[in-house]
Chains A and B, each alone.
Chain A
């Protein structure tokens, strides 16, 4: 399973990082706030991102993730608090900070008037990099993005996954220390997502610091060393995916369905089974150390679920616990 292989390498990576002296802080936010009129999009949040780490912002749409990303990318001025990126203030050192960053926005903003190769060349020139150097760099990036064959294509001719890979390649043209990815796989089919994840792993292995927003828990579990769960502009929890699951959920989850009409009624009878119950419109979630045992208890009560499933806890459960809502509605 590639998933487990990735996890192993992640553990190793962390072990190596731990041996070194204290990690270098790339991004430090204290009381970071962004208001639009009366609306607080980001409400006094604190966090630190270290060099080489893959840091995730997890939350539903409108949680304040993209706004936070824009402030880090020095394309949106904060309304309050402090923000330091590589020791500099983005409000006053915008161009300088942006030279350190690679930005992959939520909606691809490739230059539609330019071809694939030209997109990379022109973007590199925006950073003032010499053409000669860029010509070599672009070959490397095209190969990385698996777009060598498409160098002379117009961007409209590319698939969604290719466009996203080109946007990532473009974000790497200045050899950034921090790569910012806003919802990198939203709207992509499963195969395209896996290709993209693979590319992002390679970057991580090369020591690029990744800052990723997502509302997909599987993506967060796969890609992020550390996560910040956001909702309504605030931080609900912070930690590694495993830590968060351990802290806010049980080891296993038993999902039982009694038919949408009956779930709420049956839930009353299930009280006392497992550590916690969550009643959703279509199913009941029983949080427990041992899901199978809970299912036995339910059956002993003479209740017979239409379907049942025992699975491990995920970040989805963490989010449900923290906010009372599901991530993807």
Chain B
């Protein structure tokens, strides 16, 4: 075209600079532009959809923490000190809101973009790689999880439901949790082919929310059920956040962190592989 590039790099120069790096065929270091796309898309979308995901855990908190909570006595933190029921479930709902935000974007929205919006076809016709797309989309989903978590944290902190200052660390923990769920969410979604299969995700999410030590301790279950629940990501997330908001720190928290790091790496790996198979084979 008539406009000649003089002072600015061309698309070719930009791509060639990275061509000798390891993984250049899948990653061009440009996942942030996927976030820019998300920002433009969000600008013209309805904010109601964004808000509804945030309101849900607040409603649970009011109904269970303050409604049913009136009839529940004897809640304790891990060390046997008495706490209110609302203080007990608030961290669980915080973990849940981080999860919900991340899952909402990384499953339904990704499914739509993949099969109907043809967004990834477009992205992968450019010099971006599949890891750029995966990391960018997962980060976008993570941001929604983080936004929900921050909003919910503001609500519960102002209600006095975060007794420990360690609770501040619940926000970075929510980032980790949202990242893990978004990675696995997009990874799983990339293998699903139709709406029926997408419903399975819902079938897993709801029971996991209700039974992962959200509203009562695991000790009421028989041993083998406890082991099963402990293997689920939401239990890991709730334990991590509950320990922080109640100020009870121990080394098992590192185990929870490792669990989410594994989810992030595994999710990114499978999503990248699947995007390559779907769009570049």
Q: 8 Å CB contacts to B: which residues of A116-135?
A: 118, 121-123, 125-130, 133
CB pair B14–A115 under 8 Å, yes or no, is: no
Q: How far is the CA of A137 from the CA of B8 in the complex (A)?
A: 12
Find out whether the CB atom of B33 lies under 8 angstroms from the CB atom of A128: yes
Nearest A residue (CB) for B33? A125
A77 within 8 A of B: yes
Is A99 an interface residue when CB atoms closer than 8 A count as contact? Answer: yes
Restricting to B3-38, which residues have a CB under 8 Å from any CB of A?
Answer: 3, 5, 8-12, 14-16, 18-19, 24-25, 28, 30, 33, 36-37
Chain A interface residue bracket vs B: 35 or more
Once bound together, how far apart are the Cα atoms of A73 and B123, in whole Å? 13
Give chain B residues whose Cβ lies under 8 Å from the Cβ of A125. 33, 36-37
CB within 8 Å for A122 and B1 given contacts A109-B121, A111-B117: no
Residue contact A133 to B124, C-beta cutoff 8 Å: no
Cα separation A126 to B127 with both chains bound (whole Å)? 7
Let me know if A206 is at the binding interface, CB within 8 A: yes
Query: How far is it, in angstroms, between the C-alpha of A118 and the C-alpha of B3 when the chains are bound?
Result: 20
Of the listed stretches B40-48, B78-86, B97-105, B244-252, name the one at the interface; the rest are far from the partner chain: B40-48
Which residue of B has the minimal Cβ distance to A133? B8
Residues of the B chain whose Cβ atoms lie less than 8 Å from the Cβ of A142: none
| C-alpha gap A93/B15 in the complex (Å) | 10
B8 CB to nearest chain A CB (Å): 5
Classify the secondary structure of A's interface with B: loop
CB distance from A64 to the nearest CB of B (A): 16
Output the least CB separation between A95 and chain B (Å).
4
Whole-angstrom distance between the alpha carbons of A34 and B16 in the complex?
A: 27
Scoring A99, A101, A154 by chain B CB atoms within 10 A of each residue's CB, the highest score goes to A99
- Tell me whether A129 and B11 are in contact in the complex, defined as CB-CB below 8 angstroms, given that A95-B28, A122-B36 are known contacts: yes
Is the Cβ of A99 less than 8 Å from the Cβ of B11?
A: yes
Cβ contact of A99, chosen from B2, B12, B41, B124, cutoff 8 A: B12
Query: Which residues from A are CB-within-8-Å of B33?
Result: 122, 125-126, 128
B154 to chain A, nearest CB (A): 29
Residues of B contacting A105 in the complex (Cβ-Cβ under 8 angstroms): 121, 125
- Report how far A94 CA is from B40 CA in the complex, Å: 27
| Pair B14/A129 contact, Cβ less than 8 Å | yes
Cβ–Cβ contact A174 & B37, under 8 A: no
Give A171's nearest chain B residue, CB to CB: B125
Count: A-B pairs, CB below 8 Å: 133
Q: Which of B11, B16, B41, B123 contacts A114 (CB 8 A)?
A: B41
A100-B12, A111-B117 as given contacts; A95 in contact with B122, CB under 8 Å: no
The answer to whether A128 and B125 touch across the interface, beta carbons within 8 angstroms, is: no
Q: Does B193 contact A (CB under 8 A)?
A: no
- State the Cβ distance, A238 to closest chain B Cβ, in Å: 27
Is B195 in the interface zone, CB < 8 Å from A?
A: no
Contacts A93-B25, A96-B24 known; A103 to B1 CB distance under 8 Å?
Answer: no
For A110, the chain B residues whose CB sits under 8 A away are 122
| Interchain CB contact (< 8 A) of A126 among B1, B30, B117 | B30
With both chains docked as a complex, state the minimum distance between the C-beta of A92 and any C-beta of chain B, in angstroms: 6
Q: Write out, one digit per residue, whether chain B residues 105-145 have a CB within 8 A of any chain A CB (1) or not (0).
A: 00000000000011101111111110000000000000000
Distance in angstroms between the alpha carbons of A76 and B124 in the assembled complex: 11
Q: B5 — nearest CB in chain A belongs to which residue? A: A175
Minimum distance in angstroms from A167 CB to a CB of chain B: 10
Closest to A176 in B: B11
Q: Is the CB of A95 within 8 A of B14?
A: no
A94 touches B121 (CB 8 A): no
Which residues of A lie under 8 Å from residue B126 when comparing CB positions?
98-99, 123, 126-127, 174
Compute how far the CA of A248 lies from the CA of B147 in the bound complex, rounded to whole angstroms: 67
Q: Which residue in chain A gives the minimum CB-CB distance to B38?
A: A113
Question: Which of chain B's residues has its CB closest to A172's CB?
Answer: B1
Report if A113-B45 is in contact (Cβ < 8 Å); known contacts: A123-B126, A126-B128. yes
Q: Chain B residue with minimal CB distance to A173?
A: B11
Question: A96-B19, A109-B121, A174-B11 are known contacts; what are 20 more A-B pairs with Cβ within 8 Å?
Answer: A93-B24, A93-B25, A94-B280, A95-B18, A95-B19, A96-B15, A96-B127, A99-B12, A100-B12, A105-B121, A109-B122, A122-B37, A126-B122, A126-B128, A128-B14, A128-B28, A130-B9, A136-B3, A175-B5, A206-B2
Interface residues of A (CB under 8 A from B): 73-77, 92-96, 98-101, 103, 105, 107, 109-115, 118, 121-123, 125-130, 133, 136-137, 140, 144, 154, 172, 174-176, 206
Could you list 17 examples of A-B contacts with CB < 8 Å?
Answer: A93-B19, A95-B18, A96-B12, A96-B24, A98-B125, A99-B12, A99-B126, A109-B122, A113-B40, A114-B44, A115-B40, A126-B126, A129-B9, A129-B14, A144-B1, A174-B11, A175-B10
| Nearest 10 interchain pairs by C-beta | A99-B15, A174-B11, A109-B118, A99-B127, A126-B126, A113-B41, A127-B11, A125-B33, A128-B14, A95-B127
